[in-house]
Structure 1
Amino acid sequence: MREAWRCLLGLCLLARSASPASPQGAANPFAGQQMPPDPCYDDAGAARRCIPEFINGAFGKEVAVSSVCGWPTSSRSCSMVERGEERPSVRTCQICDAADPWRAHPPSYLTDLNSAHNLTCWQSENLHTSPNNVNLTLSLGKKFEITYVSLQFCSPRPESLAIYKSMDYGKSWTPYQYYSSQCRRMYNRPNKAAITKQNEQEALCTDSHTDLYPLSGGLIAFSTLDGRPSGKDFDNSPVLQDWVSATDIRVVFSRPQLPRELGAGEGGGRPDEDPMVPSTSLPAYFYAVGDFQVGGRCKCNGHASRCLKDKEGKLVCDCKHNTEGPECDHCKPFHYDRPWQRASAREANECLPCNCNLHARRCRFNTELYKLSGRKSGGVCMNCRHNTAGRHCHYCKEGFYRDMARPITHRRACKACDCHPVGAAGKTCNQTTGQCPCKDGVTGITCNRCAKGYQQSRSPVAPCITDCESYCKPVKGNLKINMKKYCKKDYAVQVNVLDMVTVGDWAKFSVNVVSVYKSRGEPLKRGDNILWIHMKDLACKCPKIQMRNSLVIQWRDIWTRRLRKFQRKEKNGKCSKA
């Protein structure tokens, strides 16, 4: 036997070695199998509408009932059984005991596997021992889009029945549909009212499906969209999209049938005379349902193809298209470039990420920008990083410029301007070239040197000035005062320099005039005064002004007599000869 296995193994190895290598490496015989395609995307990877499979949302779920037979004690109930069109119905009775599995009719029979060969029925208490109203409440565990609600009866169908829905897990209830032979009297609704676009989201009432017969096996089926005008354009009807949505379904049996053969007394009257059933007239009547179905789909707004249970055991959509939420009803963070929308047959309406060029982790939606863009883009990036700024983090912030050698998505796409604090006129540079705005006479991409024909000064206002030798010829040797110089000057004064401030290209000096020897034009007075000198002159020391010193040359007391002498000669007309 061992030799046979060895031989078989050898054949397998030979077969594998002779087969061509698979694209996956041939180590795994199942490597060539592919995952099934995602229904939410086409072959090209483009998003498209996808919906979960159609199911009976009630199957296997627990139904809360307000009444069940055989509890707390067993009870006897009777019903009429049809034997054919020509043969009269036969009355049959049975015992219901919730403690005996063979005689019990629990609510679990409402949503178990429905089989015609093994029909199981939930049954209420006899109506002479309980209220006429009996409720069935089904929690779907999640919001569904309901297509139909159906009930198959083991007893005669109720004469009046109401279906309600809840969209908030049973906190509030909205009428869904009414059935009654007396719609106005039971539910204050007209019978078979016309459905228009104005009332297509309202519960209607009909007398159909309220007949006595069949005594067993009768069906009531409510279609949520049947006859609704906007049903053909469901994708574009928010009203009907809301209308079919429900988290819970409640069925209220309001009033049973009252045929005489079911035991109604002579004094019970006709059923249309009193909406409440006299308890004495129904010694053994009950409601019984064999199958309770709620057909529909897990509500995912076209952005998921299935629903799964989360870590807490709750049913949620397996969302695609960058959506999230129990119903895929909002966009994932950072996917706010356009508002969330439900998917349609024409457009998947997937949520789009904000275009932040990889420089931001958060963004927000701006309605006005979205409208201005022709409803194409409304995302605004928040807290741009890497020295970027703008709605899309698409340009460099103040003090930085683009490095054109790198794409805008690079984390170092923006370089610091590094403008010289003295040579530059500001901190902002050209976004493309990085050129800083330089002051007069300053050059360089960061304004860090003087241009040709300029020399550096000590002034922070005018750091580079025209070469002083060409602008203001420096004085050589000792400074002297003679008659010729005296005559050429407009002013000859003795001042003390007190203070200086810069105003633009000018220096404003506060001076104290001690003596006035010559003043051509507007006369000068002794005392405090203001002196304006251009910064270029000041930098070239034309004149040389020093704080706490006299102007233009350091004053000497012996010059007083000389200046008085020049003053007298000027009055005598000597300056015209000089």
Structure 2
Amino acid sequence: MHLYLALTLQVLWTGVCQAAMQHYPATWGHYDVCKSQVYSDEGLTWDYMACQPEAADMTKYLKVMLDPPNITCGNPPETYCALENPYMCNNECDASTEELAHPPELMFDIEGRNPTTFWQSTSWKRYPKALLVNITLSWNKTIELTDDIVLTFESGRPEQMVLEKSLDYGRTWQPYQFYATDCLDAFTMEPKTVQDLTQHTLLDIICTEDYSRGYVWKYDKTVRFEIKDRFALFAGPRLHNMASLYGQLDTTKNLRDFFTITDLRIRLLRPATGATMVDENNLSRYFYAISDIKVQGRCKCNLHANSCVFDKEKLSCECEHNTTGPDCGRCKRNYQGRAWSAGSYLPIPKGTANICIPNNIGPVNCECFGHSNRCSYIELLNTVICVSCKHNTRGQHCQLCKLGFFRNASAELDDENVCIARVCDNELMRCQNGGVCISNVRCNCPSAYTGLLCEKPRCESGLGGCRGADSGQPPLRPPSSFGPLLLLLGSALL
């Protein structure tokens, strides 16, 4: 029995392997052509994992909108004073002169220019009330953040600011982080840093005072939203264990959504003043100026694409796995045989593609030669196999015979009698007592024996029993008391 089971498993596994090699001659996984960047001890390297586009500078693909619309300086021309010296007012902004203009696109131009280029707002002088500015960055596409968001200010960092995100193309907003010189005073929040967060509090919205000092710290120009420090809570300080992070992202939707955006909004609430009191007589000192914004990320393609293209002012994933849509977020037409599902990072490291399958997998598409009317899609092999083959058949299309049966050469593949019992062979069911197996159909027995496998001596007519042809002795008759026992043993062995 054990030998029979082992041989059965071996035949089944051989069939699976042959089918796999037929469909995937070089690989077992759907994701082996996909790669992603990871941090290792050697630095940034490629790791072959789930399908996702490479990380890139996403500011190349955004649209920027300012509110109020006329908040950019230069129309009409305006003169500015230095923050640290209210009597040095020799900075001009004139939108009609290229050298003196500071339009919004200068927040995203090439760094390293001399002199530095930057966007600049009108001064507080033109806004007697609070100088409030909203800068909205829109991609018209879902993206996943992969590195810190970094803003570089040229006029002193704002004393109050909020970074917000949207996941629904700007219809609703939620805060990412609050920034202030005094968090309690500005937002009634205790000040914290990203170092105060844990795996369990990573999604908490905090207010930080680290990036809100004015002109006294004028050489500290950057304001950050720390993505990599949050990644490190799962992947380790040097992000060496990205598999752990991917596993968390795969199983925790809230965590995955936290790093996903369609839009960002920078709400500038109070410019750098360098003092607790605003100098009402020198409001030209106060304004916002941003020289650079960095947003590093990748197109969100739900692990169904390895590349993202920018065409006609729009980003879209080049979807695979029979998916479609800007985010590969639905199955193609005629490939809705099961509900759409995002790809998975799990199991690490190959992941699971969750391919969309054709609608007509079922009796219509089942090629089983009439031996089954039910099929199943095997994602590992990306193929369809027949289920519960009848008439002693087996195989992907019920085209083979079960162990113990052989192909009836006189029958077609769709014949119910295509597989008939394998009466004898040269290994498991040998013909006994010198018999010879003929075409697996019957044993050709010597004249002294008979039976299916030549296991019975021939009986001589007229005698009360059988005896071997060469023994010259009458057959042995067991005592009558052993008769029932032998019958019991015989029935147990059958």
Shorter-chain TM-score category? 0.5 to 0.7
Instruction: Find the partner of 1:40 among 34, 47, 53.
Output: 34
* 2:117 equivalent among 116, 120, 123: 120
Partners of 2:204 and 2:98 in 1: how far apart?
A: 42
CA positional deviation for 1:189: 2.2
Counterpart Cα distance in 1 of 2:61 and 2:100: 21
1:408 aligns with 2:430: no
Aligned residue number for residue 348 of structure 1: 351
Rounded Cα–Cα distance in structure 2 between residues aligned with 1:337 and 1:141: 26
Alignment of 1:57-456 (within 5 A): 57-59=58-60, 61-66=62-67, 68-80=71-83, 91-130=88-127, 131-146=130-145, 147-192=147-192, 194-212=196-214, 213-215=216-218, 218-227=221-230, 229-230=233-234, 232=236, 233-237=244-248, 238=252, 239-259=254-274, 270-271=276-277, 282-309=283-310, 313-330=313-330, 333=335, 336=338, 340-343=342-345, 345-352=348-355, 361-362=358-359, 381=362, 389-392=373-376, 394=386, 408=397, 432-433=416-417
Distance 1:352 1:61, change over 3 A: closer
| Conserved? CA contact 1:143–1:246, under 8 Å | yes
Give the deviation of 1:69 after TM superposition. Answer: 3.7
**Residue 99 (structure 1) shift:** 2.1
Shift of 1:169: 1.1
Contact kept? 1:157, 1:218, Cα under 8 Å:
yes
Would the aligned equivalents of 1:129 and 1:279 in 2 still touch at CA under 8 Å? no
Supply the distance in 2 between the matched residues of 1:129 and 1:139 (Cα, whole angstroms).
Answer: 28
Spell out, residue by residue over 1:524-573, the C-alpha distance to the aligned partner (whole angstroms, 9 max, x if none): xxxxxxxxxxxxxxxxxxxxxxxxxxxxxxxxxxxxxxxxxxxxxxxxxx
- Per the normalisation by structure 2, the TM-score is 0.57
| Contact 1:155/1:217 (<8 A) preserved | no
Give CA deviations for 1:406-460 in whole Å, capped at 9, x if unaligned. 98389xxxxxxxxxxxxxxxxxxx98349xxxxxxxxxxxxxxxxxxxxxxxxxx
Distance 1:41 1:198, change over 3 A: closer
User: What is the CA-CA distance between 1:217 and the residue it aligns to?
Assistant: 6.4
Q: Name whichever of 113-122 and 62-71 sits farther off.
A: 62-71
Are the structure 2 counterparts of residues 135 and 395 from structure 1 closer, same or farther at C-alpha, using a change threshold of 3 Å? closer
Whether the 8 Å contact between 2:79 and 2:284 is mirrored in structure 1 is no
Deviations 1:222-281 (A, max 9, x none): 112424644553212223221110111111111122236xxxxxxxxx35xxxxx68666
Shift of 1:389: 2.8
- The runs of 5 or more residues in structure 1 that have no matched partner are 1-36, 82-87, 261-269, 272-276, 355-360, 364-379, 411-429, 435-578
Give me the whole-angstrom Cα distance separating, in 1, the residues matched to 2:126 and 2:363: 67
Where does residue 450 of structure 2 map in the other structure?
A: none
Amino acid at match of 1:241: R
Instruction: State the alpha-carbon separation in 1 of the partners of residues 91 and 109 from structure 2.
Output: 22
* Secondary structure of the structure 2 residue equivalent to 1:112: coil
- Are 2:183 and 2:191, in contact at CA under 8 Å, matched by a contact in 1? yes
Q: Give the deviation of 1:302 after TM superposition.
A: 3.8
Q: Deviations over 1:466-496 (max 9, x none)?
A: xxxxxxxxxxxxxxxxxxxxxxxxxxxxxxx
Distance 1:41 1:155 in 2: 41
SS in 2 for 1:162: strand
Shift of 1:96: 1.3
What is the DSSP-based 3-state SS (H/G/I as helix, E as strand, rest coil) of the residue aligned with 2:105? helix
Distance 1:353 1:402 in 2: 32
3-state SS, counterpart of residue 145 of structure 1:
strand
- Give the Cα separation in 2 of the matches to 1:174 and 1:283: 32
- The unaligned stretches of length 5 or more in structure 2 are 1-30, 37-47, 237-243, 377-384, 400-413, 419-494
Cα distance between partner residues in 2 of 1:59 and 1:111: 8
Measured after TM superposition, the shift of residue 402 of structure 1 is 7.6
Q: Which residue of 2 aligns with 1:569?
A: none
Q: Tell me if structure 2 keeps the 8 A contact 1:323–1:330.
A: yes
Preserved contact between residue 366 and residue 386 of structure 2 (Cα < 8 Å): no
